[in-house]
Amino acid sequence: MRLLLDTHIVLWWLADSPRLTPRSRKLIVRNEEVFVSAATAWEIAIKKSLGKLQAPENLEAALAASRFHELAISVRHALAAGALARHHDDPFDRLLVAQAHSENMTLLTSDSRLEAYGGKLALNTP
C-alpha cells in the first residue's frame, strides 16, 4: 500500500503524540512507501509562522529521518483538486485527496469528512 499522510498525522508522528492511534502507527511502520505532500510541508510552514502550531525546526530533516518520501505537487494534482466537489473547504485537504486519487494512494487522516470523496482512505481510529 502506498500511504499518504495528512498534516495532523505527520505532526502527531513527529511529536510521538498519543493522538496517533496504534492502528495508524502500525500502518506507517509497516509500509515501505509512506509519502508526505509538499502541500503538508507548506501548510505546516504557514501555520508555524503564524504561531498556530509547533513543528520541528528542520521539518525536511525530520521527515527524512522518518524515511518518508516527498510527494511534489503537479499541475495534474492542482487541476484534480480544483475539480473536486466542495465537501470540504480546506484547500490543503482537498489537494491531499486529489493527490491520493491521482497517485493511487491511501490517505491516512483523522478527518472523517474526507470520506465523502471516496477513494482509498484510512481513518486514525482505534
Question: For position 23, what pLDDT does the model report?
Answer: 97
Kindly report, residue by residue over 18-32, the tens digit of the pLDDT. 999 999 999 999 999
The three-state (H, E, C) secondary structure of the chain, written as one string: CEEEECHHHHHHHHCCCCCCCHHHHHHHHHCCEEEEEHHHHHHHHHHHHCCCCCCCCCHHHHHHHCCCEEECCCHHHHHHHHHCCCCCCCHHHHHHHHHHHHCCCEEEECCHHHHHHCCCEEECCC
Contact 55, 44 (CB under 8 A): yes
**Which residues of the chain fall short of a pLDDT of 70?**
none
Each domain of the chain, given as residue ranges in start order, spans: 2-123
Question: For position 126, what pLDDT does the model report?
Answer: 85
* Alpha-carbon span 58 to 22, nearest angstrom: 26
Question: For position 70, what pLDDT does the model report?
Answer: 98
Question: For position 88, what pLDDT does the model report?
Answer: 77
Topology of domain 2-123, CATH: Rossmann fold (3.40.50)
What's this model's pTM, rounded to 2 decimal places? Answer: 0.94
